[in-house]
Chains A and B, each alone.
Chain A
Amino acid sequence: MNGLTRKEELIMLSILNLRSDAYLVAITDHLSRITGRAITLTSVHLPLTRLEKTGLIASELGEATAVRGGRRKKIYRITKAGFRALGEHKRINDALWAEYLCLSEQGG
């Protein structure tokens, strides 16, 4: 399996956190808040489409609200394959961190 880019990983994690309200604007807001940087809609939209095409996330149409001009939301969720990919990333990250921390303990 191909690895995820950093951005894709962040977006997927954000979807996880947002649970049942993970749509484009919410994801962008969430990421901006966590990273403390301004993130644009378009820079989130493109990876989202890509992820959906590769089957790591799936979507369905949600409810409509007035601020959206009466249009429905596209709610994303993580698929099984998505969970596997995220888990793989986490395992590798953890392993790498663990090894580093272990070494510095011994060295320190």
Chain B
Amino acid sequence: MPAPDRPPLFFQHLLRLMTPFAEREPLLGDLEEMYVRLLGERGAIQARAWYGWTVARLIPAYVRSEIRWRFEMVLNYLKIVLRNIRKHKSYSLINITGLAAGLACAILIFLWTQNELSFDRFHKNAERIGLVLFKPDYADWLGNSGPGPLGPALQKDYPEIVAATRSFDAPAPLRYGGRTFNGRVRGVDPSFFRMFSFPFVRGGGKEPLADPNSIVLAESMAEKLFGTQDPLGKTVGFEWWGSWHDFRVIGVVADAPANSSLRFDYLLPFNFVTRSGMSIDNWEVSAYQTYVLIAPTASMAEVEGKIAGTMKRSLPASPYLLRLQPLTRLHLHHPQGGGPITYVTIISLIGFFILMIACINFMNLSTARSLKRAREVGLRKVVGSSRGALIRQFLMESLAFSFLASGLALVMVRLLLPSVNRIVNASLHLQFTMSQGLIIFGMTFLTGCLSGSYPALYLSKFNPLQVLKGGPTKGRGGFPLRRLLVVFQFVISIGLTVGTLTIHHQLLFMRNRDMGINREFVINFELRGDLRNNYRTVKTKLLENPDILAVSATNGSFTKRFATDKADWEGKDPVSKLVMAIHAVDYDYQKVFDLKMAEGRYFSREFPTDLTAGIIVNETAARVMGLEEPLGKKFFCPIPYASGREEWGTILGVVKDFHFRSLHNKIEPLVLAIAPGWFTDCYVRIRPANMPRTLAFIEKTFKETAPGFPFEYAFLDETIDQLYRTESQIGDLARSGTALAVFISCLGLIGLASFTAEQRTREIGIRKVLGASAAGITGLLTGEFTRWVLVANLIAWPVSYLAMRNWLRTFAYRIDLGWEVFLLSGALAFAVALLSVGFQAVRAARANPVASIKYE
């Protein structure tokens, strides 16, 4: 507490704030005199209370008058804003359009980012759910497939784990009343419903799916199967590995929202997988995901530390340590690090930069034009406006602009949303919820403040005496910040162009790279229902059509990955571990994909032993196994041959390396074997001619063998394209963003250039009279701007080089960053700048000097 013989400091400040300057000193003195007297008469406490109370009583009156006058001034400011807009239509149009485009882009990106970040957060327990990951001793990857007994064991052994559910999902059809629909099944334990928030809209019960013959449908699946009928208690057929099983509907849950990583059309009791012979109580069979719900008091890291060794305790030979990935990180973060979060960050940054460019435009145009308003500022100052009031006025003005712009931006967003949704493959929509509205409002407000701050500070600094005398308001030069801002704008534009071009080149590269296979005119469909059992018959039937060149079944290469670490071979170092991909194939696999052999031969019907002991590896496998002479070597791979047994086989041939996964990944060692038990997909090579007829023929054959199933097929080249969907989305977004950035930068340049030209009207006139040519004057006016763009190039190149080099590192197969991309981006920026400035410059240069000298 300060010395008690002086009044409370806080209230002194308050009083000082509330009283006009002339009144301030005597009033403070009067109050202090009274205070000192009370201090003597009644003591410090009462005196202080009196002082505080006296000051506090002044507040309401002060606030009232303050509001009244502020309001009057705001009305006046708004009036001036409207007059200015009307008076300078083209300038206002450029300013508002630029700002609106920037804001619209920022709002769209905000909607998208919000959607991405909201993934899986709708679960009530989202923060407490984790997915168990498996980290082998011998390699650096993390998998999420684990053994069946793990979930129950975790729940039993650790009090911190409140609940656990195993999960297995696969595509499989449902049938009711003779109609069959494809869908995605997910087998789960009953605790699934306690852990995740997928609410029942019908039925349910205490312990859903505890009955091994029950099924829970998602709302949309129930509607497809039953229409308006009540599905509860009905029996539906479920097809699993070639045979049909009956399940009774016990409930319907709401569809998983679009921002859920867990997707399903219907849920079955987890043990349904045993119907195809899969084991759920063997610690050695890894095929299932395990989700755990931890206690509210426990932390993920702590639980992760405790459970890490569970696998090794139950199965001493197991190479796996356990990790936990929080559910909320499932969508955006790869467990090893990185993941789509990188793209979310990049796109958000692009949005931020575009908004920055728009703000910079606004600043530049306002400060440039400010010289015209110097007199207004001078006059306001003379009649008593304080600098603070002027700053408020100009901020108000930019806020008015930004809110006008945000209105326009919302309209743009409304119009653009459908096409943006198509690009990013989502269902974003503008909803005026409290939080969204607030953020958009805040964004607009900040934009207004940010873009108005510099002009406000700059304009309010004018010396009234000088400007009212019509003294020199410096036209050009003297303002390095404005140049800096233009340079910054172009740095961003050029950087974005480099990025867009690089992404485009990499995409082209991936699409056109020779993958070692012929991917054209190959179609793929899943082997469903009786198709799997009757595969041989179907194949024979299909091959009767002369337009069908080859048919082969496999276990879904390109879209699914099967790998093992249990391969063994003659001369293998017993401690080394090697992960190898497995493709189950048949005799015509080579023909369908046009595979080339490096050594030896492909499987052939002439050698019956190929069926029971034939093995083919790829070049990479032969190399990493360290086999100098791979042919004839004994090889073991846990895959059931046609005989149904897993046995040692013999390497018959080495196939040339081909890409069977996306180009993000290096070619892995691969084993091929004839294993009909594993077939899930059928690939058919057709002749380019008569394609519609051939497709119809395949469909007919499919329907005859598997009646009631919808025929869904895909072309292989499209399937491969899908592997790069994220990149192509980012490419599309980056392209639009870049176009927008360049567009806004241009608007700014046009505004600035026309302003400069106007400022120098007289100078240009005099130069012309003295004999300057139109070309010379155009050069004079454009020279300045082009210099800035050159500087921007020098800054943008190294920055974007580093950024793009990092991005390209995420691909195992990538393009080299050539200088052409940089040169092209720079030239593009240069051309665009020259065009937008040049137009204004030529107009100024061709004006009649007589008119321009009279000007002002």
B26 touches A67 (CB 8 A): no
Q: Taking the nearest CB of chain A, how far is it from the CB of B748, in angstroms? A: 51
Closest to B7 in A: A69
Q: Does A50 contact B (CB under 8 A)?
A: no
When distances are taken between beta carbons in the complex, the residues of chain B under 8 Å from A61 are 25-26
Assuming the contacts A24-B27, A61-B25, asked whether A67 and B54 have C-beta atoms less than 8 A apart, the reply is no
Q: Taking the nearest CB of chain A, how far is it from the CB of B577, in angstroms? A: 85
Assuming the contacts A25-B34, A41-B31, A69-B6, asked whether A74 and B54 have C-beta atoms less than 8 A apart, the reply is no
Q: Does A6 contact B (CB under 8 A)?
A: no
B27 touches A45 (CB 8 A): yes
Q: How far is the CA of A58 from the CA of B29 in the complex (A)?
A: 18
B54 touches A68 (CB 8 A): no
Identify which of B6, B23, B26, B54 gathers the most chain A CB atoms within 10 Å of its CB. Answer: B26
Q: Taking the nearest CB of chain A, how far is it from the CB of B30, in angstroms? A: 4
A68 touches B30 (CB 8 A): yes
Q: How far is the CA of A71 from the CA of B23 in the complex (A)?
A: 12
When distances are taken between beta carbons in the complex, the residues of chain B under 8 Å from A23 are 26, 30
Interface of B is mostly: helix
Q: Does B605 contact A (CB under 8 A)?
A: no
Q: Does B804 contact A (CB under 8 A)?
A: no
When distances are taken between beta carbons in the complex, the residues of chain B under 8 Å from A95 are none
Assuming the contacts A69-B6, A72-B25, asked whether A42 and B54 have C-beta atoms less than 8 A apart, the reply is yes
Assuming the contacts A41-B31, A41-B34, A67-B33, asked whether A24 and B54 have C-beta atoms less than 8 A apart, the reply is no
Q: Does A73 contact B (CB under 8 A)?
A: yes
A71 touches B34 (CB 8 A): no
Q: How many residues of B contact A (CB 8 A)?
A: 16
Q: Taking the nearest CB of chain A, how far is it from the CB of B18, in angstroms? A: 13
Q: Does A98 contact B (CB under 8 A)?
A: no
Assuming the contacts A42-B54, A42-B57, asked whether A68 and B33 have C-beta atoms less than 8 A apart, the reply is yes
B54 touches A69 (CB 8 A): no
Could you mark each residue 48-85 of chain A with 1 if its beta carbon is under 8 Å from any beta carbon of chain B, else 0? 01000000000001001101110111100000000000
Q: Does B94 contact A (CB under 8 A)?
A: no
Assuming the contacts A41-B54, A42-B54, asked whether A69 and B26 have C-beta atoms less than 8 A apart, the reply is no
Q: Taking the nearest CB of chain A, how far is it from the CB of B119, in angstroms? A: 61
When distances are taken between beta carbons in the complex, the residues of chain A under 8 Å from B34 are 25, 28, 41
B32 touches A71 (CB 8 A): yes
Q: How far is the CA of A69 from the CA of B517 in the complex (A)?
A: 94
When distances are taken between beta carbons in the complex, the residues of chain A under 8 Å from B32 are 67-69, 71
Q: How far is the CA of A71 from the CA of B29 in the complex (A)?
A: 5
Q: Does B842 contact A (CB under 8 A)?
A: no
Q: How far is the CA of A42 from the CA of B28 in the complex (A)?
A: 12
When distances are taken between beta carbons in the complex, the residues of chain A under 8 Å from B321 are none
Q: Does B256 contact A (CB under 8 A)?
A: no
Q: How far is the CA of A72 from the CA of B32 in the complex (A)?
A: 11
Assuming the contacts A41-B34, A69-B6, asked whether A64 and B29 have C-beta atoms less than 8 A apart, the reply is yes
Q: Taking the nearest CB of chain A, how far is it from the CB of B69, in angstroms? A: 16
When distances are taken between beta carbons in the complex, the residues of chain B under 8 Å from A24 are 26-27, 30
Q: How far is the CA of A23 from the CA of B29 in the complex (A)?
A: 10
B29 touches A68 (CB 8 A): yes
Q: How far is the CA of A41 from the CA of B31 in the complex (A)?
A: 8
When distances are taken between beta carbons in the complex, the residues of chain A under 8 Å from B57 are 42
CB within 8 Å of A: which B646-691 residues: none
When distances are taken between beta carbons in the complex, the residues of chain B under 8 Å from A69 are 6, 28-29, 32
When distances are taken between beta carbons in the complex, the residues of chain A under 8 Å from B29 are 64, 68-69, 71-73
Closest to A24 in B: B30
When distances are taken between beta carbons in the complex, the residues of chain A under 8 Å from B457 are none
Could you mark each residue 790-821 of chain B with 1 if its beta carbon is under 8 Å from any beta carbon of chain A, else 0? 00000000000000000000000000000000
Closest to B32 in A: A69
When distances are taken between beta carbons in the complex, the residues of chain A under 8 Å from B6 are 69
Q: Does B567 contact A (CB under 8 A)?
A: no
B26 touches A74 (CB 8 A): yes
When distances are taken between beta carbons in the complex, the residues of chain A under 8 Å from B33 are 25, 65, 67-68
When distances are taken between beta carbons in the complex, the residues of chain B under 8 Å from A71 are 25-26, 28-29, 32
Q: How far is the CA of A86 from the CA of B29 in the complex (A)?
A: 29
CB within 8 Å of A: which B13-47 residues: 23, 25-34, 36
Q: How far is the CA of A69 from the CA of B25 in the complex (A)?
A: 10
Could you mark each residue 539-581 of chain B with 1 if its beta carbon is under 8 Å from any beta carbon of chain A, else 0? 0000000000000000000000000000000000000000000
Closest to B12 in A: A69
When distances are taken between beta carbons in the complex, the residues of chain A under 8 Å from B30 are 23-25, 41, 45, 68, 73-74
Q: How far is the CA of A72 from the CA of B23 in the complex (A)?
A: 11
Identify which of A25, A28, A40, A69 gathers the most chain B CB atoms within 10 Å of its CB. Answer: A69
Identify which of B25, B28, B33 gathers the most chain A CB atoms within 10 Å of its CB. Answer: B33
When distances are taken between beta carbons in the complex, the residues of chain B under 8 Å from A64 are 29
Q: Taking the nearest CB of chain B, how far is it from the CB of A50, in angstroms? A: 13
Q: Taking the nearest CB of chain B, how far is it from the CB of A43, in angstroms? A: 10
Q: Taking the nearest CB of chain B, how far is it from the CB of A53, in angstroms? A: 12
Q: How far is the CA of A49 from the CA of B32 in the complex (A)?
A: 19
Closest to A40 in B: B54
When distances are taken between beta carbons in the complex, the residues of chain A under 8 Å from B31 are 41
Q: How far is the CA of A40 from the CA of B57 in the complex (A)?
A: 12
Closest to A27 in B: B30
When distances are taken between beta carbons in the complex, the residues of chain B under 8 Å from A40 are 54
Q: Taking the nearest CB of chain B, how far is it from the CB of A11, in angstroms? A: 14
Q: Taking the nearest CB of chain B, how far is it from the CB of A60, in angstroms? A: 10
When distances are taken between beta carbons in the complex, the residues of chain A under 8 Å from B54 are 40-42
A67 touches B25 (CB 8 A): no
Q: How far is the CA of A79 from the CA of B34 in the complex (A)?
A: 27
B36 touches A72 (CB 8 A): no
Closest to A74 in B: B26
Closest to A71 in B: B29
When distances are taken between beta carbons in the complex, the residues of chain A under 8 Å from B36 are 67
Q: How far is the CA of A28 from the CA of B34 in the complex (A)?
A: 10
Q: Taking the nearest CB of chain B, how far is it from the CB of A46, in angstroms? A: 9
A-B contact pairs, 26 of them (CB 8 A): A25-B30, A25-B33, A25-B34, A28-B34, A41-B30, A41-B31, A42-B57, A42-B58, A45-B27, A45-B30, A65-B33, A67-B32, A67-B36, A68-B29, A68-B30, A71-B26, A71-B28, A71-B29, A71-B32, A72-B29, A73-B29, A74-B23, A74-B25, A74-B26, A74-B27, A74-B30
Contacts A45-B30, A61-B26, A71-B32 aside, 8 further interface pairs with beta carbons under 8 A come to A24-B27, A25-B30, A25-B33, A42-B54, A65-B33, A67-B36, A73-B30, A74-B26
**Interface residues in chain B, defined as those with a beta carbon under 8 Å from any beta carbon in chain A:** 6, 23, 25-34, 36, 54, 57-58
3 nearest A-B pairs in the assembled complex, by CB-CB distance: A71-B29, A74-B26, A68-B29
